[in-house]
Structure 1
Amino acid sequence: MTPLADSATAPPDISPLLQAVARWVRRVGVQRATVVLVGLSVVASEVLTLAWHLVSGWSLQSQGLIIAALVPVPIASLCAGYTLQLIVALDQAMRRLEELAMTDSLTGVRNRRCFMQVAALEFERATRHARPMAVVLIDVDHFKAINDRHGHQCGDQALIEIARACQGTLRKTDLLARFGGEEFIVLLPETGQREAVRLAERMRNAVAADLRLPDQPRPGAVTISLGAVALSRSTPTLDILIQAADQALYDAKRSGRNRVHTQPAPIEA
């Protein structure tokens, strides 16, 4: 069992300078940005090489020796190396920023934006090829009471633990996301109605068996309600499918909470 202890979850810091440069790279494009950066490195290498020759020649003229041109200084290689390091750092920063843009900062699962993008592609694939697909909408029971009684930090920790418990029951192909507030949503590719209900029950049981509140000696004080709906061949849009899951979730709440409800997917808008 997992007690809801105090904790905080925050994304790792990214240099503000790298963020600014990454935004510039995103705006102008990686290819153009690379050309600009390499061009700047070449200009910098020429300036530094000229300065080296001037300083070296001046310092040795008193001895009658002009050997600046004979001193090979790999300034261009040095600048090119730093440019390559900068490009690699920018690429890593951009990838990290893209990851953060798709991730819920509190729970670490995907966010609503990411879910809708992935689900839209999966919906198109499933409808085009007549493949099964389902969504499960999840709501934390009595979440406001948890916040009011134990504080928002405990409520946040409850969301983190619920996400962890649900994620642990899912398959690699499934996508769990925080949909907003105390709601989560799961995309189940290649999944019909019966299997969707079975997976929803696994998530419900995992949360009920694993989470407890600070003043509760046993788990079971934190529960979830779930609405599971599978795609039908006549379901017109992804939004209609999610609305059906929301209605099934509402029925689960109205029937006493801590349960899974389902209903046929609508066949028209």
Structure 2
Amino acid sequence: MADSHLQSSGTTPDEQPTERSQLAIYWLVIAFSAALGLLLRRYRFAFAVQSLLAHEALQAQARTDTLTGLLNRNGWNRQAARMFQYHRNRDRPLCAVFFDIDHFKRVNDTHGHAVGDRILVQLATAIRQHLPDGAVAARFGGEEFVVLLPAAELPTASTYAEAVRGGFATAARARGVRVSAGIARRRPSDSLSRLLRRADEGLYAAKAAGRDRVVVVE
């Protein structure tokens, strides 16, 4: 009777899964599930980090001038406002410096926009090379650049502007291009726009006085 049962089932007792093999399969499934769960968690974490980095890269791109690598007008507006508010609340000195390339339109008309772009990059490089820690620099528009120097008095700002002017003159000597600058220090009654307006007045005074110079507005 037992033999006929074994023949009908097609298996022998030795072929039946043992309790040990079943337990091994069980733990193998558990280990595989745990490993798969860990991989999925790592994937989700990596995806979240990648998404965050991509978002930050887009945000940085939106704040950066693509030609010079300095802040653009939008990026400047945010950072300059925060810096100005910080220094005004603590009654600390703050200077604004405007730079403008002399006769830049003539450069573009004579040598072409590719040369003009290289000259813009040369000025941005000079601005960045001498930039103190914590300062904010931007391409304000066209050939005009602006810098906020934190905790700086007028002599410090003037030294910085002269260093940029000299560095740029050396870099652009092949074309004989120069730069003018205007400087103003924050007054207690100043808003950011008033501070920038006075620095811009210094820039126009430098242009009117013959260009290739730095003018400080007291």
Q: Do they fold alike, i.e. is TM over 0.5?
A: yes
Among 90, 105, 109, which residue is 1:144 paired with? Answer: 105
Report the secondary structure of 1:177's partner residue.
Answer: strand
Aligned to 1:228: 183
User: In the TM superposition, what is the alpha-carbon distance from 1:262 to its structure 2 partner?
Assistant: 1.8
Structure 1 residue 77 displacement after superposition: 3.0
Q: Measure the CA separation in 1 of the matches of 2:188 and 2:83.
A: 14
SS of corresponding position for 1:212: coil
Counterpart Cα distance in 2 of 1:192 and 1:115: 21
**Amino acid in structure 2 at the alignment position of 1:228:** I
1:173, distance to aligned residue in structure 2 (A): 2.1
Alignment of 1:1-269 (within 5 A): 70=26, 72=29, 73-74=32-33, 75-213=36-174, 216=175, 221-235=176-190, 237-264=191-218
For 2:136, give the aligned amino acid.
Answer: L
Runs of 4+ in 1 over 2 A off after TM superposition: 73-81
Q: Specify the SS of the correspondent of 2:100.
A: strand
Total equivalences in the alignment: 193
The alpha carbon displacement at 1:131 in A equals: 0.6
- Percent identity over the alignment is 36
TM-score, normalising length: structure 1: 0.67
Unaligned 5+ segments in structure 1 are 1-63, 265-269
Amino acid at match of 2:182: G
Whole-angstrom distance in 2 between the partners of 1:194 and 1:202? 12
Kindly provide the CA deviation profile for residues 177-219 of structure 1, in whole angstroms up to 9, marking residues without a partner as x.
1111111001100011222122111111111122234xx5xxx
Distance 2:43 2:152 in 1: 50
Give the alignment's Cα RMSD to 1 decimal.
2.0
Q: What TM-score, normalized to structure 2? A: 0.82
- Partner of 1:234, secondary structure, is coil
Unmatched tracts of structure 2, length 5 or more: 1-15
Query: SS of the residue aligned with 1:89?
Result: helix
